[in-house]
Amino acid sequence: MKVIVNYAWCFSHGTLHRFRYRETPWCTAQWVSLDAYSEEAALAVKQRAWGGARFLHELPAEQQLAIAGGEAGEQP
């Protein structure tokens, strides 16, 4: 059986997270879901959306507010 993974960028931990499909995400920090089916694609989506920023404070204020308000993607 193939395990389906959902990818998310965590702006609190500064890294890519992998969550098993239909399971409660284990990270309760500030992450944003990425619409991708592979790690490589997920990193490309992240790069297009937020460039080289790893942590929330590295983004412009508008993007920080969008992420904190849940407008930039799905979050718990």
pLDDT digits (tens, 9 = 90+) for 49-64: 999 999 999 999 999 9
74 domain residue, yes or no: no
Cα separation, 41 vs 34, in Å, equals: 9
29 within some domain: yes
Task: Indicate whether 61 belongs to any domain.
Answer: yes
- Tokens representing 36? 């991708």
Positive or negative torsion for Cα 12, 76, 36, 21: positive
Judge whether 50 lies within some domain: yes
| Secondary structure (3-state) at 30 | coil
pLDDT per residue of the chain (76 residues) written in tens, 0 to 9: 677 899 999 999 999 999 998 889 999 999 999 999 999 999 999 999 999 999 999 999 999 999 988 766 544 3
**Residue 75 belongs to some domain of the structure:** no
Residue-range definition of the domain harbouring residue 43: 5-68
Contact yes or no for 49/33 (Cβ under 8 A):
no
- Euclidean distance between CA atoms 13 and 5, whole angstroms: 19
Within a domain: residue 11?
A: yes
Q: How many domains does the chain have?
A: 1
